[in-house]
Amino acid sequence: MSDARDPGTALDGDLLRRTLSAVDEAAPLVHHLTNDVTTSETANVTLHWGGLPVMADAPAEAGDMAAGADAVVINTGTASRQDVDAMVDAGRRANEADVPVVLDPVGYGATPHRVASVGRLLDEVDFDVIKGNAGEVRGLAGEEATVKGVESVGEESGVAGAADALATETGAVVVASGATDVVAGGERGPYELAVGHERMGSFVGSGCMLASTLGTVTALAGRADAPVATTTAAAIIATAAYGLAGERAAAAEPNGPASYRTAFMDAVASTATDPPESDVADRVSEV
């Protein structure tokens, strides 16, 4: 991570602001093949960060849309066999066009179908980012993990090691979401990010929305005019920005989970255009 545009532990408020401003200026097209439960949430969070969301999951067009996108987000939360066929096609076409691909293996380990579907995707598509909760990341890394439905059950301690092992195995940047988020991949790290608020788990879709945020920001990684040079750097910034938005929403003290959900969407939009002034370097530490 020697490039000056790759922050490592030197992430600061200025780099965060410049990156989010670059996203808004570039307006990346982010193609989603996502689950039926959170389509609206993922589309809207992409839009609020400054991206352009599209959900073209029909097998007849999924690959064509992926080839013309700036990033592709694949979410297996409600994937049928036909959906997985479309996801594989889209992922392959994105690989051929050098378009970054994000995988959100929702509920991995909960059923044999989910395990087989994600396994097929990993076999046939090269992913730039894999984002999951602690149970999903542990399971993918070959460790014992408990997933109940689509939720991780059990301790989060030690997930940084699992994320690092999965990053080494797949070549992807791995983001493990939790009370403390982890980003693994690249020459250094993994990194822990002390960002976010416990209320972010009070509504359905917050994990899916993080995957969309990762797709929106990593769409810029490596571009000559982008503030960040690598996918690892972009993932750190995306994860930090997402957590900071969660904190901003909680500071407004909304009454309940539905109110917080609305406040969170508003906070994403305001964070995109007016990030916190404080330095965020002390929120990121190398493990």
In the predicted model, is pLDDT for residue 8 greater than 80?
no
3-class secondary structure, 104 = strand
Residue type, 63: G
Q: Which residues pair with 72 in a beta bridge?
A: 31, 101
Q: Report the C-alpha gap between 240 and 216 in whole angstroms.
A: 14
In the predicted model, is pLDDT for residue 1 greater than 80?
no
Position 65 in a domain:
yes
Residue type, 6: D
Note the pLDDT tens digit of each residue in 138-192: 999 998 766 554 444 455 568 999 999 999 999 999 999 999 999 999 778 799 9
Position 184 in a domain:
yes
Note the pLDDT tens digit of each residue in 217-237: 999 998 988 999 899 999 999
The model's pTM is 0.92
CATH number assigned to the domain comprising residue 120: 3.40.1190.20
Residue type, 226: A
Note the pLDDT tens digit of each residue in 40-51: 999 999 999 999
Q: Report the C-alpha gap between 102 and 131 in whole angstroms.
A: 7
Position 228 in a domain:
yes
- 205 marked as binding residue: yes
Position 2 in a domain:
no
Position 9 in a domain:
no
- 131 marked as binding residue: yes
Confidence tier at 2 by pLDDT (50, 70, 90): very low
Give the number of other CB atoms < 10 A from CB of residue 258: 11
- 1 marked as binding residue: no
Query: Domain range for residue 254?
Result: 26-286
So what's the pLDDT on residue 195?
94
Mean pLDDT of 237-265: 96
Position 4 in a domain:
no
So what's the pLDDT on residue 3?
41
Confidence tier at 53 by pLDDT (50, 70, 90): very high
Top pLDDT among 156 and 106 is at 106
Q: Which residues contact 13 (CB under 8 A, 6 or more apart)?
A: 275, 276, 277, 278, 279, 280
Position 5 in a domain:
no
Q: Which residues contact 165 (CB under 8 A, 6 or more apart)?
A: 141, 142
Cα separation values, 57 from 116, 128, 277, Å: 20, 20, 39
pLDDT > 70: percent of the chain:
91
Position 268 in a domain:
yes
Distance linking the first and last C-alpha atoms of the chain: 15
Q: Contact, 6 vs 221, CB < 8 A?
A: no
So what's the pLDDT on residue 148?
53
Q: Report the C-alpha gap between 105 and 109 in whole angstroms.
A: 9
Q: How many domains does the chain have?
A: 1
Cα separation values, 225 from 7, 11, 72, 181, 222, Å: 16, 18, 21, 28, 8
